[in-house]
Structure 1
Amino acid sequence: MPTTTATAEEKLAQLRQLVLNARSMPMSASCVINRGEVLDAIDDVVAHLPDEIAGAQEVIDEKQSAIAEGEARAGRIVEEAREQATELARQSEVVKVAEEIAAKVRADAEAEAEALRHETDVFIDSRMASFESVLHKTTSQVHTARARLAERSGLDAARPRPNAG
């Protein structure tokens, strides 16, 4: 039986093992599985999938917070650069130097914020791809299990199939 600390992917692997280890029917590709065990395993995956999604949301929130902090820091750096530029403008000899420094600080801050944004997007995309893969595997395995049950027990004739969507 899957544990509550296992990831959805691990739970799906355990569910797969239940099906793989099921007793084979003689002269058939069909097998006998304990419906209760399989349904419990599926329910466990479904029940804990939101926990993993919530964990991913926490990571996304942390990355967005880091971006906001980076942008705030960039704003402070830009403001400091403006203040420095104003001070240097008072000293007529170094006005040009101050403008160059301010522009570089601004460009560096914007580049840093953009790099943080890109890094976060790459991380979020990889996590979402992982979740998409887990969901696809789950759907595929549930579909296969249901098809086998339907073949064995004639379940499709007894009730209408829900739309796959």
Structure 2
Amino acid sequence: MRVFEILDEIIDAVENAKGVPMSSSAIINRPVLLDLLDDLRDAFPGGLEDAREILEQRDDIITSARDEAARVEESCNNEANRLVVEARESAERTTAEADDYRQRVTSETDEYQQRTIDKANSDADRIVAGAQAEATAIGETARAKADGTVQAAHDEHARLVSDHEVHRAAVNAAEDVRSQAEREAAKLRSDADEYVEDQLANLSLTLQKLSATVERGRDAAHGRRSGGRADYYPDDRV
């Protein structure tokens, strides 16, 4: 490298300079040494000059960098604050929408539950009324038939009693007819009571199913209120 060559020439010039007697000084050829120094200065890379200028401008560069860093930091803080505000507003909108949805689902669930309960009560009333009417009709028919049979037996008994020629036979026959009529009447009453009891048992089972359906609807509604929206809707059929 030319810089080191020039330095070597300068060192040689100093070492080979003629010494001053009784002194550590030496006589150096000034023009030659100055030429070497000029060559040395020219031999240094241009980047060193740039580095020197940068060192001289160091404070300005540091100040400018700090100002830019402060500006970037402020911009970042403003952007972060904006994002926080937007996120808070989005969260509030989401919460409001969730509340509206929950209220709408709760209202629809309550309406569905009330419709289910009303339908169950209506079906129960209709079934009870039908069973009671049917039981009453059967009971009245059975009683009317039994009363007619008994009355016919009494009439036959009276007719036979009035016949003196067959008095004894008529009395026995009348007693048999009356006994048979009373047995048939008792059987009809028993059959009617058994039928009514069966109808009431079926009605009780139907009411139990309706009650279970209503309870499931209430449990489902309670689960939706406490845990969110549920997919279960009780069947309208019993």
* Band the TM-score falls in, shorter-chain normalisation: 0.5 to 0.7
Q: Which has the higher contact order (CA 8 A, sep 6+)?
A: 1
Give CA-to-partner distance per residue, 1:61-96, whole Å, 9 cap, x none.
222122122112211211111111111122303210
Equivalence for 2:200: 124
Equivalence for 2:121: 50
Given the alignment of the two structures, is residue 110 of structure 1 paired with residue 182 of structure 2, yes or no?
no
User: Among 30, 37, 41, which residue is 2:112 paired with?
Assistant: 41
Give CA-to-partner distance per residue, 1:97-121, whole Å, 9 cap, x none.
1101111011112201210121121
- Using the TM superposition, give the Cα deviation of residue 148 of structure 1 relative to its aligned residue in structure 2, in angstroms: 4.6
List runs of 5+ in structure 2 lacking aligned partners: 1-101, 230-238
Richer in helix (by share): 2
- Using the TM superposition, give the Cα deviation of residue 47 of structure 1 relative to its aligned residue in structure 2, in angstroms: 2.1
Amino acid at match of 1:65: A
Equivalence for 2:149: 77
* Higher-Rg member (1/2): 2
Equivalence for 1:62: 134
- Using the TM superposition, give the Cα deviation of residue 48 of structure 1 relative to its aligned residue in structure 2, in angstroms: 2.2
Paired with 2:144 and 2:107, the residues of 1 have a C-alpha distance of 54
Q: Which runs of 4+ in 1 moved over 4 A?
A: none
Given the alignment of the two structures, is residue 94 of structure 1 paired with residue 165 of structure 2, yes or no?
no
Aligned residues: 122
TM-score, structure 2 normalization: 0.46
Equivalence for 2:211: 135
Describe the SS at the equivalent of 1:34. helix
Q: Tell whether the 8 Å contact from 2:157 to 2:174 is kept in structure 1 after alignment.
A: yes
In structure 2, relative to structure 1, the CA distance for the partners of 1:38 and 1:144 (3 Å cut) is closer
Equivalence for 1:4: none
